[in-house]
Amino acid sequence: MPVLVGMCAVVYFGYHAIQGENGVMAFLSLERRVVQAEVELAAAKAEEERLARRVELLRPRSLDRDMLDEQARLLLNLAHPDDIVVMRDDPRQSSR
């Protein structure tokens, strides 16, 4: 009988050492979450650097006013009354 109780205790503690709240599987799961968080952090830092470079281009000391004017006209689809506008066929529409 004491051997059976001892075996049950070993099985019980062994199971919880592997599957329990602080067991081996929880540790491996935690490691996976840490790796995933590091990947997300690297992606967030890359996005932050990309946005910082774009913001830096908008600073007055590095802003090219001609380029800004060109991009604004392009995005807004506007032209100055003195501009010469050349209309071209859109190759994406002609393939339909």
pLDDT (tens digit, 9 = 90+) per residue, 8-37? 888 888 777 777 777 777 777 778 888 999
Determine if the pTM surpasses 0.75. Answer: no
List alpha helices for the chain, DSSP H: 2-19, 24-57, 65-76, 91-94
Per the model's pLDDT, the better-predicted residue between 71 and 42 turns out to be 42
Query: Which structure tokens are listed for 60?
Result: 């007055």
What pLDDT does 38 receive? 96
Mean pLDDT of 89-96: 65
Q: How confident is the model at residue 46 (pLDDT cuts 50, 70, 90)?
A: very high
Query: Which structure tokens are listed for 78?
Result: 């506007």
Distances, alpha carbon 61 to alpha carbons 23, 58, 66, 91, in Å: 57, 8, 14, 38
CA angle 58, 87, 63 (to 5 degrees): 10
